[in-house]
Amino acid sequence: MSRRRTLSTKKKIALLASAATVAGGGAFVMAATSNAAQSPQTAAQSSVCQGLATALGNNQKFIDGQRAAPDAQSEARIANREAVIAQIKVQQEASGCVVGESAQDSQATQPAQTAPPAQSAPPTQAEDPSQAPPADGGDGGGAGEQVCNGSTVTLSGEGGAPAASSNQFPAGTKLKVTNLDNNQSTTVEVTSVSGSCVLLNNAAFEQVREPGKFLIRRAVIEKVG
């Protein structure tokens, strides 16, 4: 009798320990599931997501413009921009953003944040070397006519050599874009049409971006050729 009771007590202890282990494992699984179920960030919550949403919106706006006034090349342009949008959505998912979130017209909604201060500068800010110094990514060329005042700058998602697209300047125009947050600049040629004043392709954007960001809020854009 004594031996049976002793064994029974040991079994009870083992069962209690097993139950505690299972409960702890269940709590861990529930915590992991809770973390995995967190909602993706929106453009309002993350500057990375805002930059990607702006890029997606600009490409959608370009497609809408091509469909509204098509020409012989519209079909090819639309196919190219749809491929760019697909790539941006991949970047949104990888960055934890809401996939497919678009921010059309965001270029026109943030002028107050992007205009650099004058502070007793010469007639135009672009002529003040302290506002837009040459940088490693640029060609170190002289200042030109400042354009697109108040515009933010993001990427089009297109590949190839450094280049830009614009809805204001024809192909062949040279634009110098300076990121005032890191003093990096690049001079690129406009090669295609977009839905905003200036969009940089991937290679050009890499020359002036801050790590992890897809939007330049404080930019100086100059027409230099």
Q: Is there a domain that residue 3 lies in? A: no
Per-residue model confidence (pLDDT) at position 3: 52
**pLDDT tens, 32-49?**
444 445 788 888 888 888
**pLDDT tens, 155-213?**
888 889 999 999 899 999 999 999 999 999 999 999 988 878 899 999 999 999 999 88
Q: Cα-flanking dihedrals φ and ψ of residue 196, to 5°?
A: -145, 175
Task: With H, G, I as helix, E, B as strand and everything else as coil, classify residue 80.
Answer: helix
Q: Is residue 141 within 8 Å of 204, Cβ to Cβ?
A: no
Q: Is pLDDT of 5 > 60?
A: no
pTM to 2 decimals?
A: 0.55
Q: Is there a domain that residue 19 lies in? A: no
Q: Band of the pLDDT at 7, cuts 50, 70, 90?
A: low
Tell me which residue range forms the domain holding 185: 47-223
**Total structural domains within the chain:** 1
Q: Is there a domain that residue 28 lies in? A: no
Per-residue model confidence (pLDDT) at position 36: 43
Q: Is there a domain that residue 15 lies in? A: no
CA–CA separation, 156 vs 52, rounded Å?
9
Residue type, 142: G
Q: What is the b/e burial string over 37-62, where b = at least 16 CB atoms within 10 angstroms of the residue's CB?
A: eeeebebeebebbbbbbbbbbbbbbb
**Sign of CA pseudo-dihedral 137, 182, 193, 151:** negative
Q: Is there a domain that residue 195 lies in? A: yes
Q: Band of the pLDDT at 146, cuts 50, 70, 90?
A: very high
